[in-house]
Structure 1
C-alpha cells in the first residue's frame, strides 16, 4: 500500500495528477529512511533535514507535520505492508501542490510515503569487490541546493547508467572545481593513516544522515584526525581506504579505483560501532 496525503491506497489504484510539480519541474524533495522492526533509525536527523530542506525551497510546512505525526504515518504504512517485524526502506516524497508554471500558484505541499522490504536487520560488510570510477560527463554545482535530497538527480541517473554500461559498481561525482563530491548515492570518506577526510557540504555533497552519524562516532575516537575538506581525484589513489555511506546500505568499502586496491579495516571497525549504537538505541 501507499500513503498519499494521509490516504492509504493499493499500489495499483494509487494515482497522481499529470500536473504534479515534482514530475513537471522537479519541485519536490524526498527522504529515505530505514526502519528496523518498527524502529526508524536516526529519525530526528531525518526529520530536521526534511524540515530544513522544505524551508530552503520555500515550501509551506503543514501544521500537522510534527515529528510524531510523520513517524506515525511511516509506521502505519510499514505495518500495512506487513513489514513491521522486519527491515524496510521507506521513502517520503514531498512536492509543492500542482498549479502554475515555473512560478507556483501556491507553496502548499502534498506528500506520499512508500515502503519496501530490505534483506538484513543490521548493517553488514559485503566482502565482494566494489569498484569505482570517476564520472566526468557532467559536474555538480558546489552550492547549497546540491546538498538537498531533491528530485533533481539527473547527474546521479546518468552516472548510474555510465557505471552499469562500463562494469563499475559506482562512480564518484566531481564538482565544477574538479573536486570529488560523493558517490552516486552515498557520501565518501577517505582514510590515510590516522586521518579520515570527507568532502565538506560547501563542495556540494549531500547532507547525508549517515555521514552525520559517522562524524559523531569519529568525534569519540581520539586516535583519528577528522577533516571535512576538499578531496582531489589524485588523493583517491594515495588513500589506504575509501568507503561510502548511506542509511540503507550502511558502510560500503571501495575495493578498487583505477589500479589501486584498498583495505577495509577502518570501515569494518566503524560499522561495528554503528551497529552497537543502533542495538542500544543511541
Structure 2
C-alpha cells in the first residue's frame, strides 16, 4: 500500500531510539509519498549532544524483505561526497507495533521546487540554474554508477536563502548495469532516463505541466519524447532550451556527456552565469529570501 494512503506511522512527541542510543523526537509531519512518510524531528546523538532539527523519513517493510531499504541506504552512503545531494545523518532499522521500519535522518532543508511552482512559473535564469545544477549532480552519480530514475520538482529542495538546491529521495535509485550492446554508439551506462528527465524538468519550471511524464526506458522512446518536448518549447516561448534538447537528442544514441549538456544549456541565455545565485523575483516566494 502507498505510504501516503496509510495512517501516520508515528505521532507528534513520540521518541524513536536506535540501538546505539541516538534519539529522535517526532514533530510535525512534512509529507508522504509512495514509499515513506517524512516528519520533522529533533535529533540527539548517543552522547547526549543535540544535533538540531532533521527530516526523518520512515519506510515500512515486511520482515525479511529489507533489500530495497538497504539498497537506498547503500546508495545514499555512496552519494555522501556529492555536492547538492541531501546529507544523510543517520539510518537504522527498528520495530514499532510489530511493524518493521527503516529510519533515514536527513539534514533539514526548506521548500521544494514543487512548492515554488504552485500557481506560478520561475524566470529563465532560475530555470537554467535548476537544470544546470541537476546535470552536475547526475554527472557525479554517473561516475558512481548510480541512476536516480525519479526526477521531478518535489525532489529538489532549497535552503532558506536560495544559495543552495539539493536533490533528495533516492528510493527509486539503482546501481546502473552496463548496456549489453557493446557497439561504439552504446558502450555506456544506461543514464538516458536521468538525462531526458532534465528536459521535462525545464518544461515543468516554465509551464503549467507540473507532473512530469516518464518516457520508456528505450532509446527510440527517449528520442520520440524529446521531439514532443521541442514542440512544447516552441509553444511556450522556451527557445532558450532548444539547443540543450537538440544536444540531448544527439547524445541518446551515443556516449552521454553531462558536461556537454551543461554547455548547451548555458548557451541558451547569453547572460547566464552558473555561479550566480538564484534571482529573487515575484515568481520566487519571498519567504525564501
Q: TM-score, normalised by structure 1?
A: 0.32
Q: TM-score, normalised by structure 2?
A: 0.31
Please identify which structure carries the higher strand content: 1
